[in-house]
Chain A
Amino acid sequence: MQEPQFHKLTPRAIRVWQWGNLIGNLFFFAIPAAYAAVFGVDGFHYWMVVVSASIVFIFWMLSVFLTPYLTWKHWRYAIDEKEIDLKRGILFKTRTLIPLSRVQHVDTRQGPILRWYNLSSVTISTAATTHEIPALDSVLADRVRKQISTYARLAEEDV
């Protein structure tokens, strides 16, 4: 079977995810903090707090230094006249096929971190599901959005 032309995301995506996880996953330190606030830090509870805090810390470090790289390494996307093909997943590998004739709308989005790195994400919605290509270069994202909407318009129009 002929494979379509797959593209990788831009390596800047790794930085975006690193910053995002660095800030976002700080939230999980609230769990040991809340535990300490409720039960105090005496005896047994001290060890509970230490263990849970170190688990959260390890998770936090991994989410900053390992998973963004792996996510980037496994992300592939391809767009041609007939469909969008997305491959992703570190442990659970998924490959999703979206026929272009099913695409209802495409938008590009840009959060603060994405804007700092001049990136955008492209969101593809069908009548049933929504998929995202995270972190493309803004210019490229716009081109992808146009490409998808042009192809989608060419494709037959009904649900």
Chain B
Amino acid sequence: MSEFQRQHPVAAVSRALDLIRGNFITILVFLFVGAQSETFPFLWWIGGGFAFLLILGVANWWRFLFKLENDLLHIKSGIFVRKNLYLTKDRIQVIDITSGIIQRMFGLVRLDIQTAGSSSRQAAIDAITRDEAIEINNILRRESQKTDSATGEISEIKQDTDEILNRFKIPHKELLIAASTSGSFGIALSIIATVFSQVEPLISESEMFEYLFNMLPSQTDTMMIISIILVFIIFAWLISFFSTLFTYGNFTLEVKEKEMVVSRGIFEKKRITVPYNRIQAIHVTEGIIRQPLGYASLHLESAGYGDDKGTGSIVMFPLIRRNKILNLLNDVLPDYQKEHEGIRPPSRSLRRYLFRSAFFITAATAALYWGMNFNLWIWIFPVLSVYWGWLKYKDAAAASGDDILVMRSRRLSKSTAYIKKNRVQDATLIQSPFQRMRNLCSIQVYVASGDHGKSFRVRDLEYDDGLKLLNDVRKNGVEFSDLLDEQIVSGKVPLPGWNL
């Protein structure tokens, strides 16, 4: 292994597929444009695109060299711009061996190497044989620990840290619920729209539409539009159902002493290792459909590494009953203090919440109703938006424990975030002119997550409470005693409140 070597040629194909996945939206746009142009046949677009990607993939494979020498993994990559990556074994944090669907067809694996830096996503070998991967893994991980410790004792202890202490799987029933309530409609709809734009000329040319008109029970235009929309929604739902099923099938969360391992996927297997000291925040999301059913999903923000898109958000558990969340969190992350006395926004900020949610929707509805003579029924949207505003007001809360901040808020889904105070990158108190008039403020906290940060915000808290929260971050959870005489002004609410 001390000579430079190439990956298995299958890497070219998997690279091409990665490119397709990475530029999915761009490709969709191109397909739309391609469908519009008459001179350039649609099939040429697709064929040419695939050929181009395949050439790129092959070139990438040809120019990708790696060698392992003296506990140093040296990777050369890049078609024109050569990139040299040196990974020394003491900087390597985690090595993940996974296998996607293409790798598995050829009995290969993919090797992901995480270092402390954020360039970690670059360090991946797409396709090598399992034996080679294990050899690299052994040399870079185990070997180093043995050489570190002259005695056998310590290497035994090191072995123990790899042991799985606890393992959680998602039951089939909950996986099905997760799939049917997953809100990834947007992507699905765009796929359908593309397909539809291709198929549509065919339909109108044949007498498909007339046939449909005759088939459908009532032949008014409104009914037609509604039924088309319904068909779209059902298709979108089916796509999001199966994509979620395939992504989160076989979900397993393994708890080890120093790290947790999330593995998931039915065809495309994914494995993400998260060392505990890389976790910046955890947040629980209760989606608008899942919440009434009593379910939520668990996410965590990790520094430096996450999915391919560079966000550090990782799904820690795709779906769980609300009353089991605390048990799971206690098992996985016992050092997070979970139950607190939270601060709610005062009642005078309710009108701000309602106004924010309802104003634009009401204005748009009024314009549509009087300007374009829409049906009276569209007034349901302003009513819903008022309800939405009220929900947002009701769910907004914040708490500050000994070493932890809890921030709960709602956009569409309700999200409860736990942030260790010493993980806060910055905390900001914002006051708009109107908030100043009413002595309110918003609090926003940034944590590191992937390449960028992630922010959590609670709006329209009492100004004094906001200052107190900010001051709590300042204290870093150390000097707590001289804050005890400060009284919390607003109404209190139990956080997180899942056991109610």
Q: Name A's B-contacting residues (CB within 8 A).
A: 1, 82-83, 89, 91-99, 101-102, 126-129, 131, 156, 158-159
Give the complex CA separation of A159 and B473 in angstroms. Answer: 16
Contact, CB under 8 Å: B425 / A158: no
Say yes or no: A127-B430 contact (C-beta < 8 A), given A82-B474, A102-B425. Answer: no
Query: What are 6 A-B interface contacts by the 8 Å CB criterion?
Result: A89-B431, A92-B432, A95-B429, A99-B473, A99-B474, A159-B280
Nearest CB on B from A158, distance (A): 7
Q: Which of B107-115, B190-198, B236-244, B442-450 lies at the interface with chain A?
A: B442-450
> Which of B429, B449, B468 counts the most A-chain CB atoms under 10 A from its CB?
B429
Does A128 lie within 8 Å of B454, measured CB to CB? yes
Asked if A126 and B467 make an inter-chain contact with CB atoms under 8 angstroms apart, the answer reads no
Check if B303 sits within 8 Å of A83, measured CB to CB.
no
Within 8 Å CB of A97, what residues of B? 426-428, 470, 473-474
Shortest CB-to-CB span from B405 to chain A, Å, is 12
Known: A93-B430, A101-B422. 19 other contacts (CB 8 A): A82-B474, A91-B433, A96-B426, A96-B427, A97-B426, A97-B428, A97-B470, A99-B422, A99-B425, A99-B474, A126-B425, A126-B426, A127-B448, A128-B425, A128-B448, A128-B452, A156-B422, A159-B278, A159-B304
Q: Which residues of A contact B278 (CB under 8 A)?
A: 159
B370-429 residues with Cβ-Cβ distance < 8 A to A are 422, 424-429
Compute how far the CA of A128 lies from the CA of B426 in the bound complex, rounded to whole angstroms.
8
Distance in angstroms between the alpha carbons of A95 and B473 in the assembled complex:
13
Interface residue? B436 (CB, 8 A): yes
The winner among B433, B452, B453, B474 for most chain A CB atoms within 10 A is B474
B449 to A128, Cβ gap below 8 A? yes
Q: Is the CB of A91 within 8 A of B277?
A: no
Q: In the complex, are the beta carbons of B470 and A159 less than 8 A apart?
A: no
| B471 interface hit (Cβ, 8 Å) | yes
> Known contacts A127-B303, A127-B448; is A92 also within 8 Å of B430 by CB?
yes
Q: Point out the residues of chain B lying under 8 angstroms from A96, CB to CB.
A: 426-429
Q: B303 contacts which of A101, A129, A159 (Cβ < 8 Å)? A: A159
Interface set, chain B 436-463, CB cutoff 8 A to A: 436, 446-449, 452-455
Does B476 reach chain A (CB closer than 8 Å)?
yes
Q: Select A159's contact among B431, B436, B448, B471, beta carbons within 8 Å.
A: B448
- Contact present for A131 and B426 (CB under 8 Å): yes
Q: Are A83 and B474 in contact (CB under 8 A)?
A: yes
Q: A95-B428, A96-B428 are in contact. Are A1 and B471 (CB under 8 A)?
A: yes
Q: How far is the CA of A107 from the CA of B429 in the complex (A)?
A: 25
Of all chain B residues, the one with the shortest Cβ separation from A91 is B433
Complex formed: what's the CA distance from A106 to B453 in Å? 18
Closest to A128 in B: B453
The 4 A-B pairs with the shortest beta carbon distances in the complex, nearest first, are A128-B453, A127-B448, A128-B425, A126-B425
Chain B residues with CB under 8 Å of A159's CB are 278, 280, 303-304, 448
Q: Which residue of B lies closest to A85 (CB)?
A: B474
Q: Is there an interface contact between B474 and A93, defined as CB atoms closer than 8 Å? A: no
Contact A129 B470 (CB under 8 A): no
Distance to closest chain A CB from B445 (angstroms): 9
User: Which of A83, A92, A101, A156 is B431 in contact with, Cβ under 8 Å?
Assistant: A92
Q: Which residues of A contact B428 (CB under 8 A)?
A: 94-97
Q: Are A91 and B303 in contact (CB under 8 A)?
A: no
Which residues of chain A are near B424, meaning CB under 8 Å? 99, 102
**Distance, CA A98 to CA B432, complexed state (A):** 21
Contact residues in B for A128 (Cβ distance below 8 Å): 425-426, 446-449, 452-455
CA of A98 to CA of B455, assembled, Å: 14
Complex contacts, A98 vs chain B, CB 8 Å: 425-426
- Chain B residue at smallest Cβ distance from A95: B429
Bound complex: CA of A91 vs CA of B432, how far in Å? 6
Chain A residues closer than 8 Å to B429, beta-carbon distance: 94-96
Per-position 1/0 for B250-278, Cβ under 8 A of A: 00000000000000000000000000011
| Chain B residue nearest in CB terms to A159 | B303
Residues of A within 8 A of B280 (CB): 159
Chain B residues with CB under 8 Å of A92's CB are 430-433
Which one of A102, A127, A128, A159 has the highest number of Cβ atoms from chain B below 10 Å of its Cβ? A128
Question: Per a CB cutoff under 8 Å, which of A82, A95, A156 touches B470?
Answer: A95
User: Bound state CA distance, A129 and B452, in angstroms?
Assistant: 8
CA distance A101 to B476 in the complex (A): 10
